[in-house]
């Protein structure tokens, strides 16, 4: 670990990809999270072979959901969902503790075409963005909803934090395909990458400077001990740190050769920055052959007949991971 970035624990090795890295600026006390997704986001996006603007929007939603979900202390699930009248009329991202993500987007394939020349206002349109926390075990769910006005995922999230959580927030998300050279004679290929940086100005009474100060115990999404004071919006420390965060470039968020802790030091060395143990992220779908079979048993014979292919078999494809489960003619008779 480089000497110029303090860590919450000694001898911490920070992976380059598929992590969310919590941090705190030393001088200003601003908290934040840096997300860097490589193989995980490619595993989510590549199988769907969607037009680039759709993949980018869904990738941004995955990066944002990973940052939000990794702040949970409970063994629950966080879901981000949009529904609108745009060409991308529905998307959903599910995060399960400790770091499993899956995602799906529904869009008008005829009108989207190859996606070239699409404006953000056409893509998302008007509607709403909802963030839901489900603690499980019959515990009460928490949900926050904000209006979509045709802007991007990041803009909608900023509106959410401003209106629902009343927390001054800076957020930058980036998604793009990078070319990866092949090894051992194998051809190279283009792979999706995603990254994001979020910082928040939290006014706490009696706050401490340890890891617990960046934890969340699920009163809202972040930091239930945070008390917002409108006067702090213009706080010099916050504004100075926000300006530093705004210098981050998309290529820095995506660059696999730039270690996450080095990027944070590059941005906030004037403030000093302390990083905490990273949360690892993986693409993981909850579908299974057994689960699909149980779902099919809920249909009657006539409904199953409509699903059968000419040879009598039934095929069901998971909308999240695109895995197809095929059942022989005699499995549901």
**What are the domain boundaries of the chain?**
6-283, 289-327
In this prediction, residues 130-157 reach a mean pLDDT of 88
pLDDT digits (tens, 9 = 90+) for 100-116: 999 999 999 998 988 88
- Cα(12)–Cα(18) distance, integer angstroms: 16
Nearest to 279, CA basis, from 19, 9, 18: 19
Q: Is the pLDDT higher at 72 or at 193?
A: 193
Q: Tell me the pLDDT of the chain averaged across its residues.
A: 85
**Domain 6-283: which topology?**
Hsp33 domain (3.55.30)
Answer yes or no: is pLDDT of 157 > 50: yes
pLDDT digits (tens, 9 = 90+) for 17-64: 999 999 999 999 999 999 999 999 999 999 999 999 999 999 999 999
DSSP state of 85: S
Answer yes or no: is pLDDT of 234 > 60: no
- Cα(333)–Cα(331) distance, integer angstroms: 6
At 272 the pLDDT is: 93
* H-helix segments, 75-162: 109-112, 120-124, 153-160
pLDDT digits (tens, 9 = 90+) for 246-265: 999 999 999 999 999 999 99
Nearest 10 degrees: Cα torsion 231, 236, 237, 238: 60
In this prediction, residues 72-76 reach a mean pLDDT of 84
pTM: 0.86
**Tally of CA atoms within 13 A in the half-sphere of 191 that contains its CB:** 18
């Amino acid at each position: 670990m480089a000497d110029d970035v303090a860590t919450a624990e000694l001898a911490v090795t920070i992976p380059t990809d598929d992590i969310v890295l919590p941090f705190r600026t030393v001088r200003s006390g601003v908290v934040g999270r840096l997300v860097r997704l490589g193989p995980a986001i490619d595993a989510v996006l590549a199988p769907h072979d969607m037009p680039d603007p759709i993949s980018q929007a869904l990738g941004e939603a995955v990066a944002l959901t990973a940052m939000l979900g990794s702040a949970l202390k409970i063994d629950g699930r966080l879901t981000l969902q949009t529904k609108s009248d745009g060409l991308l009329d529905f998307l959903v991202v599910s995060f399960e503790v400790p770091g499993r993500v899956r995602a799906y987007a529904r869009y008008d394939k005829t009108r989207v075409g190859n996606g070239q020349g699409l404006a953000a206002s056409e893509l998302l349109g008007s509607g709403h963005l909802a963030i839901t926390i489900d603690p499980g075990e019959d515990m009460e769910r928490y949900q926050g909803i904000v209006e979509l006005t045709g802007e991007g995922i990041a803009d909608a999230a900023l509106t959410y934090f401003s209106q629902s959580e009343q927390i001054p927030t800076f957020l930058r998300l980036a998604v793009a395909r990078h070319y990866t050279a092949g090894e051992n004679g194998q051809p190279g290929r283009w792979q999706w990458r995603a990254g994001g940086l979020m910082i928040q100005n939290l006014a706490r009474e009696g706050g401490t400077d340890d890891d617990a100060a960046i934890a969340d115990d699920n009163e809202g999404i972040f930091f239930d001990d945070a008390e917002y004071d409108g006067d702090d919006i213009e706080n010099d420390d916050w504004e100075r740190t926000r300006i530093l965060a705004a210098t981050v470039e998309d290529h820095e968020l995506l660059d696999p050769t730039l270690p996450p802790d080095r990027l944070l030091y590059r941005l906030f060395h004037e403030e000093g920055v302390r990083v905490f143990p990273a949360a690892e992220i993986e693409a993981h779908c909850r579908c299974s052959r057994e689960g699909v079979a149980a779902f099919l048993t809920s249909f009657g014979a006539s409904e199953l007949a409509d699903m059968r292919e000419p040879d009598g078999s039934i095929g069901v494809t998971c909308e999240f991971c695109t895995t197809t489960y095929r059942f022989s003619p005699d499995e549901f008779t």
